[in-house]
A = this chain, B = another copy of it.
Amino acid sequence: MARSDTRYRQAYNRLLDFCGTLPVGASVPAETELGEIANVSRTVIRRCLSRLEERKVISWDGREKRLLRRPTDADRVELADSRVSTADLEQRFLDWVLRFDVPADTPLSVAELSRTFGVPQHELKEFLAGLSRFGLVARRRQGGWMLRGFTRDFAVELSDFRAVLELNAVEQAAEAPVDHPIWPRLEALRAEHLDLAARIDSDFHAFSKLDETFHKTINSVVRNRFIEEFQKVISLIFHYHYLWDKTEEKDRNAAAIAEHLAIIDALEARDADAAREAARRHLRTSKTTLLSSLRHHELG
């Protein structure tokens, strides 16, 4: 019942490596300096030094530390496990919710999630607490969490919010200076769209990815931590639902390509009003698609 000593183990091995670079008999640097080498606090260093002394790799008497022998592979310590990536927990969690179509108002068990994701409970709790800011999960009165889920209301509000953010982005893009990096990127996107449009009959599946890139590009002109935070969630959710709704996918995608091109045209003409209008039209379509995808899911 205590935190893991991975930090110590890693530091220890790193110190062994360092000692390997020193000649036998050389004096070992001060604790502070070693701390900087291994990027840990002095406390950890001291523990490592204790062990090094114990194993007779170094002598240690006050500030007199000397390398006694060349360290071998046998001196190294195991660094137990490679704890599964905790970084993309968000990605994996949303993926799970969307892929398995977890219904709204499902009680979430921290213990169970902890097992399926291979992440300690307390980390999950923190993560869920974060998500609750987006209204995707909520605390239950008697403890525990529940997925507020992917209801129609949620989808509508998410779409509306997305529209607000993205119309703002389009407005800003229209006023971006000529040397802004968005212009070459838009030009490249236009080419990709035209390319895909030409072979839409066979490759219409490729659109989903292109769509994501397009919206990411548009939004990239807005440098705002709040908006960026949301964008991650928004794009993921739209992305998935796009993938699902298989009804008339080809036609939908062809239409969306046309709408994207209209936005690009208006932007490159620096016509803010037209761009706004085009974006508004496209977002309206997106919203409809998202809602219809939900409806099919409910029925299915």
| Chain A interface (Cβ < 8 Å from any Cβ of B) | 122, 125-130, 132-135, 154, 157-158, 160-161, 164-165, 168, 223-227, 229-230
Contacts and interface: CB of A to CB of B under 8 A. Distances in A.
A133 B135 contact: no
Nearest to A223: B157
A224 B126 contact: no
| Nearest 3 Cβ contacts at the A-B interface | A126-B129, A135-B225, A129-B129
A146 to B, nearest CB: 15
A149 to B, nearest CB: 13
Contacts of A154: 225
Nearest to A163: B168
Contacts of A165: 164
B130 A226 contact: no
A102 to B, nearest CB: 19
A66 B135 CA distance: 47
Nearest to A141: B39
Given A122-B122, A133-B133, A133-B134, A161 B127 contact: no
B158 A226 contact: yes
Contact of A226 (B122, B132, B157, B168): B157
Contacts of A132: 130
A133 to B, nearest CB: 5
Contacts of A157: 223-226
B227 A135 contact: no
A161 B130 contact: no
A164 B160 contact: no
A224 B161 contact: yes
A135 B226 contact: yes
Contacts of A230: 226
Nearest to A227: B161
Contacts of A125: 122, 125-126, 129
Contact of A130 (B129, B223, B224): B129
Contact of A134 (B126, B129, B158, B226): B226
Nearest to A126: B129
A255 to B, nearest CB: 26
Nearest to A158: B226
